Amino acid sequence: MVEKEISQAVIARLPRYFRYLGELKDEGVERISSQELSRIMNVTASQIRQDFNNFGGFGQQGYGYNVEFLYTEIGKILGIDKTHQLIIVGAGNLGQALANYMNFERRGFIITGIFDINPELYGKTIRGIQVRPMEEMKDFIKENNVDIAVLTIPKSAALTVSCQLVEVGIKAIWNFAHVDLQVPPQVQVENVHLSDSLMRLSYMINRFESGKK
């Protein structure tokens, strides 16, 4: 069977479905129809059914979708049922903030190491995790089966570090550095370009003001 390719648009929507279903589950809602969900989430019922059907039939005619089942299934699709070992590269403000953000662990993303080039930080612990020198990073990844590297370093350092990560076979990079990384296709990259996001907001303010005046 040829697996049909899932579009980026669908993938981008999955975490949002997951979040709403989690909330419904917590509220004790047992079943939900695409129409009801569409009302809550502000999307069309048609889109919801199309999206879910990319992964097979999760619903039942005349009944709707079982919330708990659907939640679990989407979790599996997102790979949230597995745990991931991750390291934080760059123990600056953002790196420390992410390390301190507990909620990722709840989803199975375990921070196993933090690395920095600044010797003053070596040995400092953040949420019980020691900051290590960059030189140890490659060996650490190999020895601890790290799948994900979080890049919270300046753009000037990002290229060098990403090459090192690729060399030791990292599976994925969560990139907060403001550059587009060039990595081979077996390495997954998700960019979080905060300044791009802020500029989009600036654009929206600008556009609204010049449009309404």
Q: Closest approach of Cβ 192 to its own copies, in Å? A: 6
118, interface contact from its own copies, DNA, none, CB < 5-8 Å by kind: none
**Residues at the contact surface with its own copies, assessed by CB under 8 A:** 3, 6, 11-12, 14-16, 18-19, 77-80, 82, 84, 92-94, 96-98, 100-101, 103-104, 107, 109, 147-148, 171-172, 174, 178, 180, 186, 188, 190, 192-209, 211-212
Whole-number Å distance between alpha carbons of 189 and 76: 20
Q: Which two tokens stand for residue 183?
A: 């990595």
Q: Describe the strand order of the beta sheet including 188-191 as a list of residue ranges.
A: 125-126, 129-133, 109-116, 84-89, 148-151, 172-175, 188-191
Give the phi and the psi of residue 172 in degrees, each rounded to 5.
-150, 150
Pick between residue 12 and residue 201 the one whose CB is nearest to DNA. Answer: 12
Options 45-53, 159-167, 173-181, 184-192: segment touching DNA (CB under 7 A): 45-53
Binding mask 5-34 for DNA (x = CB under 7 A): --xxxx---------------------xxx
Q: How far is CA 159 from CA 18, 52, 92, 95, 111, in A?
A: 33, 38, 18, 18, 22
Closest CA to 48 of 96, 80, 16: 16
Give the residues lining the site for DNA (CB under 7 A). Answer: 7-10, 32-35, 43-47, 49-50, 52-53, 57-65
